[in-house]
Amino acid sequence: DAKTTQPNSMESNEEEPVHLPCNHSTISGTDYIHWYRQLPSQGPEYVIHGLTSNVNNRMASLAIAEDRKSSTLILHRATLRDAAVYYCILRGNQGGKLIFGQGTELSVKP
Amino acid sequence: EAQVTQNPRYLITVTGKKLTVTCSQNMNHEYMSWYRQDPGLGLRQIYYSMNVEVTDKGDVPEGYKVSRKEKRNFPLILESPSPNQTSLYFCASSPPPGGVYEQYFGPGTRLTVT
């Protein structure tokens, strides 16, 4: 099962960009890269996903390395409400078994 | 409103007393899954279901059972709970279990087994 590696924690200042890295060196060709975040006392929520090309949505951007062995979630202007644990996971076409790992705890300072 | 619901949200029970945590989704999703979350261990998958009557083990299935008799429901059963099953549990669902689809998570069930 493909796994991901993320830093345990990161800090950011409010209104500055944040780049959250994820390594997935064992990714297969059909695995999508998904990002979720979990706010305190809540269930995880979807942020963004991609396969090969960089992706943008209203919440964030996802930059995928050309060899697909790593990716970066970009929050363009961090707010206090972005303080959460961010999980990077791989989801294949079969999509059944999923490995979340410990994620990156992002703290945002005013 | 599209959502995943779990009941109960909080439960305190004693060792060995069978319990069921219910999960229901109103989005007609084929895929459903159960996770547990423990401090320092992140989210770990317990069981998942690709569709009605199709279930499979995740990473930590020991001590749990599931069933998928209807598309909308995916109950988690603890036949004989033990203190090491004290945890925060999340149910999730998604359309067909392909990589292109996102998962929707429930609000969580905090279980304490004494």
At residue A97, the pLDDT reads 79
Question: Which residues of B fall within a CB distance of 8 Å from A98?
Answer: 33, 45, 48, 58, 103
Mean pLDDT score, A85-97: 85
Using a CB-CB cut-off of 8 Å, the residues of chain B touching A90 are 99
- Sorting pLDDT into bands at 50, 70 and 90, what band is A6? very high
Q: What is the pLDDT of residue A1?
A: 58
Can you tell me the mean pLDDT for A63-75?
Answer: 97
Contact A101 B42 (CB under 8 A): yes
Lowest mean pLDDT among A13-22, B42-51, B61-70: B42-51
Distance from CA of A103 to the nearest CA of B (A): 7
pLDDT at A94 over 80: no
Q: Measured in Å, how far apart are chain B's first and last C-alpha atoms?
A: 36
Give residue for tokens 């001590």. Answer: B63
Report pLDDT digits (tens) over B50-63: 999 999 999 999 99
Q: Identify the band that residue A11 occupies on the pLDDT scale cut at 50, 70 and 90.
A: very high
* CB contact (8 A) between residue A49 and residue B100: yes
User: Taking 70 as the threshold, does the pLDDT of residue A95 lie above it?
Assistant: no
Q: What's the average model confidence in pLDDT over A100-110?
A: 91
Whole-number Å distance between alpha carbons of B47 and B60: 8
Which H or E run contains A5?
Answer: none
What is the reported pLDDT for B100?
78
What pairs with residue A28 in β-bridges?
Answer: none
Cα distance between residue A95 and residue B99, in whole Å: 6
3 state SS of B9 = coil
Q: Is the pLDDT of residue B7 over 80?
A: yes
Per-residue pLDDT at A93 exceeds 80: no
Chain A interface, mutation test: which of B9, B33, B54, B102, most A Cβ atoms within 10 Å?
B102
Per cent of chain A over pLDDT 90 is 78
Place of tokens 């202007």: A77
